[in-house]
Amino acid sequence: MSFSILVGAMLLADAPMGAGALPPVSPVPSASDQQTPPSAAPPDAATPAQALAKPPAVPVPDAPQDNTVCDIVVSARRHVPGDPLQAANAKSFALTQDVDRAVVGPAALAYERTVPEPIRDGLRNFNLNLHEPVVFLNYLLQLKPGKAGETAGRFAVNSALGAAGLFDVARKRPFELPRRPNGFADTLGYYGVAPGPFFFLPLIGPTTLRDLLGGGVDRLVLPLSVGGPFRSLAYTVPMGADRLLDRRAEFDEQLNQVRETPDPYSARREMYLHKRQAEIEALHGTRRGAATPTFGLDSSEGPSAPADSDAVEQSLHL
C-alpha cells in the first residue's frame, strides 16, 4: 500500500497542467514606464497628448506694408442759378455752334476785314450812346444819383459834340466821364432778385430768366418813350445785325478757347453766370480777384464793370 501511494505521488508530480489552470501573467508596464528617457527625446518633441490637443502652427508671412494714400475726390457740377433744362440747352448750344461755324463766324470775320475800324468804332459808340437813357434810369432806381448824373452828362456831351454819339468825346479830357453800362436786369440783381433758371436760346445765346425779363424791359424804353425809327424794322434789323457781327468778330479768340474745352457748353454757361455775378457785385462795390473773359465788355472796363442791361444784345452769345 505504501508502494502504491508512492507511485501515485510520483505520477502527480510529472503530470501536465490542467486545462483550467492559468499560466503566470507578466506585469504590463505603465505609460510612465514606457516614456522615452529625457536624454533620448529631442528638446522640441511634443508628447502624443500634446499633439492631439494642439495642431502645429503654420507660419503666416507678414502682409506687405502699403503706404499709398488713396484720395477720393468727389466733384459735383455747380448749378448757379440752376440748369433744369440742361439737355435742351445743350442741344440749342450745339445748333447755335453749327450755325456760327457755317454762317455767323465767317460773316463776322469778313465784316471785320472789309469794314474799316473807325467805322466799326463809330457804329458801336452810336449804339451805346442810345443806351445811355436806360443806364440813367436804372442808376436812379438803384439810388445812385451821382452815377446817374454822370450818365446824363455823357449822353448830352456825346450827342452834341460827338456827332450823335459816333465819337466818345465824354470819356476824354476835360470831361472824363467813363461809360458805365447798366440796365433793369442789373437793378433786379442789385436788390437781390435771383437769376432764376439758365437758358441757352437757339441762335441767340445764354441768358437767365432775370436777364431775359430785364433786357426785354430795356428794349422797350426807346420805342415807348421816343418812338419813330426805334419802332421800325428798317432800323432795328440793320443795327442788331451790326451789333452781332461786331461783337462776334471782337471775341473770336475767346470763343475758340471755349470750344477747345472738354465741355464747351458747361464752360460757356459758367463763364456767362460768373460774369453776370461779378457785374452785380460791382454795383455793390465788391470786386472779384480773378478776372475772366468778359464776352461783351470793352477791355478798358475790366471784368468787374456792370454789363449793359440787355443781356441778349450786349454780350457774345455764341
Task: Name residues whose C-beta falls within 8 Å of residue 195's C-beta, 6 or more positions apart in sequence.
Answer: 80, 81, 189, 208, 209, 210, 211, 273, 276
Predicted local distance difference test score (pLDDT) of residue 310: 40
| Model pTM score | 0.66
Predicted local distance difference test score (pLDDT) of residue 308: 41
Q: What is the pLDDT along the chain (318 residues), one digit of tens a residue?
A: 544 554 454 544 454 444 444 444 444 444 444 444 444 444 454 555 554 455 555 555 554 555 544 444 444 445 545 899 999 999 999 999 999 999 999 999 999 999 999 999 999 999 999 999 999 999 999 999 999 999 999 999 999 999 999 999 999 999 999 999 899 999 999 999 999 999 999 988 999 999 999 999 999 998 888 888 888 888 889 998 999 999 999 989 989 999 999 999 999 999 999 999 999 999 998 765 444 443 433 333 333 333 343 433 444 445
Cell of 253: 479768340
Estimate to the nearest angstrom the gap between the alpha carbon of 288 and the chain centroid.
18
> CA-to-CA distance for 211 and 306, rounded, in angstroms?
13
> CA-to-CA distance for 295 and 251, rounded, in angstroms?
7
**Range 75-85 burial, b when 16+ CB lie within 10 A, else e:** eeeeeebebee
Number of residues in the chain: 318
Q: From 156, 174, 153, 173, select the one nearest 165 (Cα to Cα).
A: 156
Task: Name residues whose C-beta falls within 8 Å of residue 95's C-beta, 6 or more positions apart in sequence.
Answer: 202, 203
